[in-house]
Amino acid sequence: MRWVLQTFKKWFIKNKLLLIVFTSFFIFTMTTLITLVSLSIINWNWITGFLIGSFTSYLSIYFIKISADLLVKTENHYFFVFLFLSRVGFYMLVTLLVLILPDLFSIEAFLIGIVNSIFYPFFNHKNV
């Protein structure tokens, strides 16, 4: 557990500017959604859809980082493939949850929240 926290701390220091951009994008979008919900233009399920999409996106970026570090450290390609398939399964599970419960989560807001995961190639990977 300590190794994971130290890795996250080093990763945060290397990618400070990118995380500031992600955080500002998250805060701007969340403020816009809260304003639209308070004005009764959209329903509250947009907020829950955006939150679950953002959580899925950030968690997948963290899983990619952990799997890349473990691949370099252990050179176990089967474990890397396992982590890749589990990440795809995680995407499918959350997407099916959003599709099955449209009253609780908005699919449009979920897609807006998951957009962050396309910016993964901009993260700094000197050891991969």
Helices (H) and strands (E) counted in the chain, each on its own, are 5, 0
Per-residue model confidence as pLDDT tens for the chain (128 residues): 555 556 666 766 776 777 787 788 888 888 888 898 888 888 888 888 888 988 888 888 778 777 877 888 888 888 888 888 888 888 899 999 999 998 899 899 888 888 877 776 665 555 44
How much is the pLDDT for 73? 85
Q: What is the dihedral of CA 84, 54, 20, 118, to 10 degrees?
A: 50
The DSSP output letter for 124 is -
How much is the pLDDT for 128? 43
How much is the pLDDT for 98? 92
Q: Helix axis angle, 2-14 relative to 16-38, nearest 10°?
A: 90
How much is the pLDDT for 9? 67
Query: What pTM does this model have?
Result: 0.72
How much is the pLDDT for 117? 75
